[in-house]
C-alpha cells in the first residue's frame, strides 16, 4: 500500500509539473486578456456585489449563500495544511507562486461562475443547478465530456474530499494531544480516542446539515464560513502585528526564494522548480480556481445577472489565497527555524506549532477546534458539489440526491478512522483531471463569458444600478441562449 501511495504521488507531481500548472496559468492569462483584466478592473465592483448579495433571492439561495458555500470549501484544510506542505516542500518561494495562481485564477473563477449561471437549469424543488457538466453539455454540445466531469466530481467530492478532510482533523488532534490509548470498546481495537471522537462528531454534525439538502448547507455556511475566516485571520494578524518589524524581511524572503535555484532557508525546501510546483499544486487545492467545483455552488444563486455571481466568486479566490493563505505563511515564517526543523513539524502540525510559538501553548486547543470547523465546512460544501453533479447524471431524480447524502456522511465518518495515504495522493490526480477538463470548456466558451461581461458593463455605464440579463436577442452574446431560466 505504501508503494502504491508513493507511485500515485509521483504521478500527481508529474501531471502538476508538466501539464496542470502550465495549462492553468496559460488559461488564466488568456481569460485575463480577453476580459481586459476583469479581476483588476472590477475589484471595487466585487466588494459592492458582496455588500448587497444577501438580498433578492426571492425564496431561493441568495448570491451570498452561494458565495459562502464555495468559501467554506476554499477556506479549509488547504489554508492550514496546504500552505504548510507548500512551505516544507517548496520553501518560502512557493507562496509567491500561490499568489500568481490566485491572480490569474481570479479571472478563471469569474468565467467559470458566470458560465455556470448562464447555463444553469431549474431543479424540481424550484432551486437552480449548474456547473461545468451543464455548460459542457449545453454550451459545448458535448454530453460525453459533461458526463465524464460529473462522474469524477461525484466520486471526488462525495467520497474522496469528505474522507480526507475528516482524516486530516483526526490526525491534527492526535498530533496536538497525543495518539491516546487504544480503544477498549468491542470492535474498535487499534483506534485512538481522537479518531473515535472525530468520527462521532462528523457523523452527527454532517448528518444534521446534509440530510436537509443544499438549502440547509446554504443557511449554515452563510454564517459559518465568513465567521471562521475572520477568526482565523484575526488570530494570525495578532502574531504578524507583534512581529511587524520582521514583516518586510519575510516578504523579501518569499520573493527572493521564488526565483532562487537553491533553498535559502534551512529546514524548508526550496529551489525555483520546487517552489513553482508546490505553490501551484497547493494553490489550486486551496482556492479551487479552474478546478470546476466552485461553479456548482455559484449556479445555485438567484441573481438578476450572471456576472454578479462571477464577480463575487472571483473575490473568493482573492480572500482564500491572498488573505488567508498569506496570513498562514507569514505566521509560519515568523516562527523561525526552530519551528520548521522541529521533529514534530509536518504539514498537519506546522501551522499549529507556529501559532503556539507566537501566542503560547494555550492556542493548541483553539486551533484544533478551528481546524475541525474548517474541515467540517469543506465536507458539507463538497456534498453540494457532488449533489449537483449527481443531479446532472440522474436527471434530477430524488434517489440520486439521497444517495449522495448518505455516501457523503458515511465517507466523512470513515475518513476519521481509516489510513488514507493512498486517497490523499489520489485526490491530486482526480483534481488534475477535473481541472484540465474544465479549462478546455472555459476556453471553448470564453465568448459567452466575455459577452455577459460586456452586457453587464454596458448596463452599468448606462446608469443601471442592478443590471438584468436578457438571454434572447442579446447583442453581446455569440448567439441567443436557449433557456427557460433567464426568460
Q: Which of the two residues, 377 and 280, has the higher pLDDT score?
A: 377
pLDDT at residue 132, rounded to an integer: 93
**58-72 average pLDDT score:** 69
Question: Is residue 323's pLDDT more than 70?
Answer: yes
**388-416 average pLDDT score:** 83
96-114 per-position pLDDT tens digit: 888 888 888 899 999 999 9
Question: Is residue 468's pLDDT more than 50?
Answer: yes
Counting residues of the chain whose pLDDT is more than 90, the rounded percentage is: 12
**CA dihedral (460, 466, 472, 478) positive or negative:** positive
By the 10 Å C-beta count (0-12 exposed, 13-18 middle, 19+ buried), 148 is classed as middle
Q: Which of the two residues, 446 and 199, has the higher pLDDT score?
A: 446
Question: Is residue 94's pLDDT more than 70?
Answer: yes
Strand runs labelled E in 79-230: 121-122, 128-129
135-144 per-position pLDDT tens digit: 999 889 889 9
Helices (H) and strands (E) in the chain, counts: 24, 2
The CA distance from 385 to 268, in Å, is 35
Question: Is residue 419's pLDDT more than 60?
Answer: yes
Question: Is residue 84's pLDDT more than 90?
Answer: no
Could you tell me the residue ranges of all domains in the chain?
1-181+195-462
Please tell me the pTM assigned to this model. 0.83
pLDDT at residue 178, rounded to an integer: 58
The CA distance from 397 to 347, in Å, is 40
**126-139 average pLDDT score:** 87
24-55 per-position pLDDT tens digit: 889 999 999 999 999 889 888 888 777 766 55
pLDDT at residue 60, rounded to an integer: 62
C-alpha cell at 386: 457532488
pLDDT at residue 261, rounded to an integer: 62
220-277 per-position pLDDT tens digit: 776 776 777 777 778 777 877 877 778 788 888 888 877 766 555 555 555 566 666 6
Determine contact, residues 352/174, Cβ cutoff 8 Å. no
The CA distance from 183 to 173, in Å, is 16
Question: Is residue 59's pLDDT more than 60?
Answer: no
Question: Is residue 442's pLDDT more than 90?
Answer: yes
pLDDT at residue 184, rounded to an integer: 45
CATH of domain 1-181+195-462: 1.20.1740
Q: Hey, is 121 helix, strand or coil?
A: strand
Q: Hey, is 128 helix, strand or coil?
A: strand
Q: What is the mean pLDDT of the chain?
A: 78
The CA distance from 33 to 444, in Å, is 15
Question: Is residue 93's pLDDT more than 60?
Answer: yes
C-alpha cell at 462: 448606462
Amino acid at each position: 500500500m505504501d508503494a502504491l501511495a508513493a507511485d500515485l504521488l509521483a504521478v500527481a507531481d508529474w501531471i502538476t509539473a508538466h501539464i496542470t500548472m502550465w495549462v492553468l496559468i496559460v488559461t488564466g492569462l488568456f481569460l485575463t486578456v480577453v476580459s481586459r483584466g476583469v479581476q483588476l478592473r472590477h475589484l471595487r465592483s466585487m466588494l459592492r456585489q458582496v455588500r448587497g448579495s444577501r438580498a433578492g433571492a426571492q425564496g431561493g439561495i441568495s448570491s451570498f449563500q452561494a458565495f459562502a458555500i464555495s468559501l467554506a470549501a476554499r477556506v479549509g484544510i488547504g489554508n492550514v495544511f496546504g500552505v504548510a506542505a507548500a512551505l516544507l516542500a517548496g520553501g518560502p518561494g512557493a507562496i509567491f507562486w500561490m499568489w500568481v495562481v490566485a491572480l490569474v485564477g481570479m479571472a478563471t473563477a469569474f468565467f467559470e461562475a458566470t458560465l455556470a449561471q448562464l447555463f444553469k437549469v431549474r431543479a424540481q424543488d424550484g432551486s437552480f443547478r449548474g456547473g461545468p457538466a451543464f455548460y459542457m453539455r449545453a454550451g459545448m454540445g458535448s454530453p460525453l465530456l459533461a458526463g465524464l466531469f460529473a462522474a469524477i466530481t461525484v466520486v471526488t467530492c462525495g467520497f474522496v474530499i469528505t474522507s480526507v478532510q475528516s482524516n486530516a482533523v483526526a490526525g491534527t488532534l492526535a498530533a496536538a494531544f497525543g495518539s491516546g490509548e487504544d480503544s477498549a470498546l468491542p470492535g474498535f481495537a487499534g483506534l485512538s480516542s481522537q479518531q473515535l471522537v472525530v468520527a462521532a462528531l462528523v457523523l452527527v454534525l454532517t448528518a444534521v446539515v446534509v440530510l436537509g439538502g443544499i438549502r440547509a448547507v446554504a443557511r449554515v455556511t452563510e454564517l459559518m464560513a465568513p465567521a471562521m475566516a475572520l477568526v482565523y485571520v484575526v488570530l494570525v494578524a495578532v502574531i504578524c502585528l507583534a512581529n511587524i518589524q520582521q514583516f518586510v524581511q519575510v516578504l523579501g524572503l518569499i520573493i527572493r526564494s521564488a526565483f532562487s535555484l537553491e533553498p535559502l532557508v534551512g529546514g524548508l525546501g526550496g529551489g525555483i522548480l520546487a517552489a513553482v510546483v508546490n505553490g501551484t499544486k497547493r494553490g489550486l487545492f486551496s482556492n479551487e480556481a479552474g478546478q470546476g467545483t466552485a461553479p456548482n455552488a455559484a449556479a445555485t444563486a438567484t441573481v438578476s445577472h450572471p456576472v454578479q455571481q462571477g464577480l463575487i466568486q472571483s473575490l473568493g479566490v482573492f480572500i482564500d489565497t491572498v488573505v488567508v493563505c498569506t496570513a498562514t505563511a507569514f505566521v509560519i515564517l515568523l516562527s523561525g527555524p526552530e519551528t520548521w526543523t522541529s521533529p514534530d513539524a509536518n504539514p498537519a502540525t506546522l501551522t499549529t506549532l507556529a501559532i503556539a510559538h507566537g501566542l503560547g501553548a494555550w492556542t493548541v486547543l483553539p486551533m484544533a477546534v478551528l481546524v475541525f470547523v474548517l474541515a467540517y465546512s469543506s465536507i458539507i460544501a463538497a456534498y453540494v458539489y457532488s449533489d449537483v453533479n449527481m443531479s446532472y447524471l440522474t436527471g434530477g431524480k430524488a434517489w440520486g440526491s439521497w444517495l449522495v447524502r448518505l455516501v457523503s456522511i458515511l465517507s466523512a465518518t470513515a475518513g476519521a478512522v481509516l489510513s488514507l495515504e493512498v486517497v490523499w495522493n489520489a485526490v491530486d490526480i482526480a483534481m488534475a483531471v477535473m481541472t484540465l477538463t474544465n479549462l478546455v470548456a472555459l476556453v471553448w466558451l470564453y465568448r459567452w463569458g466575455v459577452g455577459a461581461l460586456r452586457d453587464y458593463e454596458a448596463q452599468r455605464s448606462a446608469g443601471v444600478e442592478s443590471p438584468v440579463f436578457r438571454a434572447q436577442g442579446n447583442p453581446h452574446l455569440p448567439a441567443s441562449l436557449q433557456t427557460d431560466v433567464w426568460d
